[in-house]
Amino acid sequence: MASEVHAEMITSIQASAKQAFLDAYAAIEGQDVAPLIRRLRQAGIASFDDLGFPGARDEDWKFTNLGPVLRHTYQTAAADYGLGWAEVPGITVVPLAWAVAERPDLVEPYLGRVADHRVWPLVALNTAFLTDGLLIHVPAGVVVEQPVRFSTGTNGPGAWHRRVLVIVESGAQLTLVEEHHSQPGDGTLTTKVTEIVVGANAHVDHYVLQDESLDAFYLATLAVQMARDSRFSTHYFGLGGALARHEVRVRFTGENSEATVNGLYQASGTQHFDNHTVIDHAVPHCNSHELYKGILDGKSRGVFRGKIDVRKDAQKTDAKQTNQTLLLSDDATINTKPQLEIFADDVKCTHGATVGQLDEQQLFYLQSRGIGQAQARALLTFAFANDLIGRVRVPALRRSLEERYLQTHHLPATEDE
């Protein structure tokens, strides 16, 4: 009985939250926006109306209850996205609304087509409120040595619907760094959709630092489409958020491509981190490597769901997935689940999940050299994280992440050794 009442309550929270967003949409419906944006908004709201918020019965959301997010009401935040970025010669980095108006030929083939609003409810919601965002366009053959970095912040409460479109044409190379912050006390909701198009022979390295405040809700989807002979890597570093869901959806559309999907998150208190990945091996001869690591302390919760689809024609697929979780407290929990759906017969797919505590032998070794128990534990926790930090190929970002994690664990800075 009790659980039925509970389920009903959740359903009614979802229904009223859905209505609130439909009302918020009605308020912006009459805005004077470019035809493409209007079309996408209309399609987005129709899908959202149809799909609603995902609930416990939705297999993809089984361990993440959106109740705490939907209990609040949100004003739609202004079109000022708080986007800041550095000018980089040779490529285009412009507001998305400007690009839609001035370069529809460039934007239209991709915007709203890599991230599918028809099936993913939060992409539908984000698309319904599409106003502005960021376009990054790297023309064919252009190699950008310097990383392109942008950051977002908030200047008040509300729902922030952020959108980023990245088009890297054939033979081009780009390193992209996203940073997301918010003001404590604002209790913001962020929905974020990043669409990345990796052209033939192109190479993209992508990094996300999610450093939202501890009362913020972060619901992000990264959707990537990879043409033949391309390489893509994404590295997610999750630190903030009361509830943070980071979805990565990579689709191979051309042969001989390689994707690396990595993530590291650190949770304490009552934080809830959900990492959801889907790698779609739609074509033969592609490799994917996935490594997610979580550090859970306090009463925090972690969810990892890693889906690998190997379709019937995707022979010679090589897919590897690893999920490792460090539980630092008895009250922290993790739900981890690999999901491999393999329809081709000549493939190599491996997955592994480990959940554990700090290694006693390593602790003893550190303590036997005079390092106190608390510091030894902190050092080993840092070491667990550093495995992923060390893979960051942007030196400034790697150093700042290193320092950030050392600080979090009250460890001395490395300085230059």
Q: Determine phi and psi for 268, rounding to 5 degrees.
A: -140, -175
The yes or no reply on residue 385 touching another protein (CB under 8 A) is yes
Radius of gyration of the chain, Cα coordinates, nearest whole angstrom: 21
Beta bridge partners of 356: 326
The smaller minimum CB distance to another protein, of residues 3 and 361, is found at 361
Residue corresponding to tokens 């980089």: 88
Interface stretch with another protein, choices 7-15, 175-183, 215-223, 382-390 (CB under 8 A)? 382-390
Give the DSSP H/E element, type plus range, for residue 405.
helix 395-408
- Pick the piece of the chain touching another protein (CB under 8 A) from 65-73, 251-259, 306-314, 408-416: 408-416
Per-residue mark of binding to another protein, 357-376 (x: CB under 8 A): ---xxx-xxxxxxxxxx-xx
Please give the C-alpha separations between residue 85 and each of 150, 152, 293, in angstroms, as whole numbers.
4, 9, 29
With respect to another protein, which residue has the nearer C-beta, 342 or 411? 411
303 scored as a contact of another protein (CB under 8 A) = no
Number of residues that bind another protein (CB under 8 A): 30
Question: Edge-to-edge strands of the sheet including 134-138?
Answer: 92-95, 134-138, 159-168, 189-198, 217-226, 243-252, 272-281, 301-310, 333-342
At its nearest, how many Å lie between another protein and the CB of residue 324? 12
Q: Is 416 in the site for another protein (CB under 8 A)?
A: yes
Sign of CA dihedral 153, 272, 410, 261: negative
Helix axes 2-28, 35-51, angle to 10 degrees: 160
Nearer to another protein, 224 or 326 (CB): 326
* Smallest separation (angstroms) from another protein to the CB of 414: 6
Least Å distance between CB 415 and another protein? 4
Task: Based on the shown chain and the rule CB under 8 A, indicate whether residue 314 belongs to the binding site for another protein.
Answer: no
In sequence order, which residues have a C-beta less than 8 Å from that of residue 32 and are 6 or more positions away? none
Report d(CA 223, CA 193) in Å as an integer: 8
**4 binds another protein per the rule CB under 8 A:** no
CB of 361 to another protein, least distance (A): 5
Minimum CB separation of residue 363 from another protein in Å reads 9
The reply on whether position 403 binds another protein by CB under 8 A is: no
- Comparison of 155 and 414: residue with beta carbon closer to another protein: 414
Pairing of strands 231-238, 258-267: parallel
Minimum distance between the CB of residue 365 and another protein, rounded to whole angstroms? Answer: 4
Q: Closest distance between another protein and the C-beta of residue 377, in Å?
A: 12
What single string gives the DSSP state of each residue in 289-326?
EEEEEEEE-TT-EEEEEEEEEE-TT-TT-EEEEEEEEE
Nearer CB in complex with another protein: 3/368: 368
Location of structure tokens 């609003």? 117
Q: Which position among 384, 397, 401, 409 is part of the footprint of another protein (CB under 8 A)? A: 384
Q: Nearest distance from residue 402's CB to another protein, in Å? A: 10
**Where do contacts with another protein occur on this chain (CB under 8 A)?**
360-362, 364-373, 375-376, 379-380, 382-387, 390, 411-412, 414-417
